[in-house]
Amino acid sequence: MTAQQREAPPATVQDDSVIRVAHRRFAGARTRVLEVGPQPDAETPRRRSARRSARPVAPRLVLLHGYCDSADTWRPVLEELAAAGHSAVAVDLPGFGEADALRPGAMLPQLDTFLTALIKEQSVLGPVVLAGNSLGGTISLRAAQSTRLPVAGVVSIAAPGFVDSWLIRTVARFPVPLRLYSSLPLPVPSFVVKAIAEQLVPRLLYADAALADVTQVRRFTDLFPDYRATTGRLEQARQLVEELATAYQLDNVRTPLLVVACGKDKLVSAASGKQLHSLVPHSRLLVRDDWGHCPQLDDPSAIAELITYFAASATHAKRGRAAAGAGRPVGTETAAG
């Protein structure tokens, strides 16, 4: 099932002046949605589509988090976007945050199905621009590979699977230390697991661990409350790294693409972003030496500005291509994209 299923009415759990929070279903998976900007009107999709053809429509920004993260990672950026009057949504991907768990089997196809439903819902309201960090960058690129999905542009931030760090390569090999950890006859005490997580998480996510936000760090450390949870996440990470080996078909990417590489990223090296840029010739590349793996946490204001500037450019280019295609003689073929 790929069509979005909406609960009636959505189970709204929070509604403040900046970020609206609700629970909805996409492709059968219940998840949490954070949304900012003007609320969609009550017009039917057909009337809204007809009105869109008469005048430009602002892009719909869809923000996707990384592995073991949640939509909350985008809260600082959402606040910036709300202040500027932009519309955006961030969701918990299946398996993370408050979303339903992933089913047994390959992870990326399940995330693809979920994102397809989300894109189709948002495309009714305006041109969809995806911005994904880490795993979110991976599934954004995979969506851009499909000619059937209405994606106007993609911002890929630290997507793995190209030139990865020693840490990701270590997880992929699942070396002796990890195997021993997973097979210990006695579990490691919970307070030891949490203490290690509290030391590692700020260093892995931020450019400068000393500037890490305590609330954001706690979200990650709560994912590793004990030995059992930690071994489960390690195994899931190993599976995901294996899937990354065949995740991309970049020759199919025709949509505008902005690749963001971060110089202080300890999980996905800046060289990874540079390689992605070289594999998609029409893409643009931004390298920031002062950003870590999650620049939405390091510098939310700059990320919000970057995404909105790119989205405006991408949707303008899309309208230009559509207008050029409409003006061609009947029977003239136009390039895909």
pLDDT bin (cut points 50, 70, 90) of residue 193 is: low
pTM: 0.81
Considering only residues 309 and 217, tell me which one the structure prediction assigns the higher pLDDT. 309
Please list the residues that pair with 21 across neighbouring strands: 14, 34
Q: What percent of the chain has pLDDT over 90?
A: 55
Which amino acid is located at 209 in the chain? A
pLDDT reported for residue 12: 41
Would you list the DSSP string of 226-256?
SHHHHHHHHHHHHHHHHHHTT---GGG--S-
Cα-based distances in Å from 275 to 123, 248, 270, 292, 314: 30, 13, 9, 18, 22
Mean pLDDT (whole number) for 268-278: 94
CA distance 237 to 308: 31
Would you list the DSSP string of 167-185?
HHHHHHH--HHHHHHHT-S
Average pLDDT, the chain: 81
CA distance 134 to 162: 12
Lowest mean pLDDT among 56-70, 115-129, 156-170, 171-185: 171-185
Token pair for 24: 């909805």
Of 87, 39, 45, the C-alpha closest to 63 is 87
Q: Is the pLDDT of residue 177 over 90?
A: no
Considering only residues 298 and 13, tell me which one the structure prediction assigns the higher pLDDT. 298
The alpha carbon dihedral of 232, 244, 27, 61 has a sign of positive
pLDDT reported for residue 110: 98
pLDDT digits (tens, 9 = 90+) for 142-153: 999 998 999 999
CA distance 256 to 283: 6
Cα-based distances in Å from 32 to 25, 38, 74, 112, 228: 9, 19, 13, 17, 25
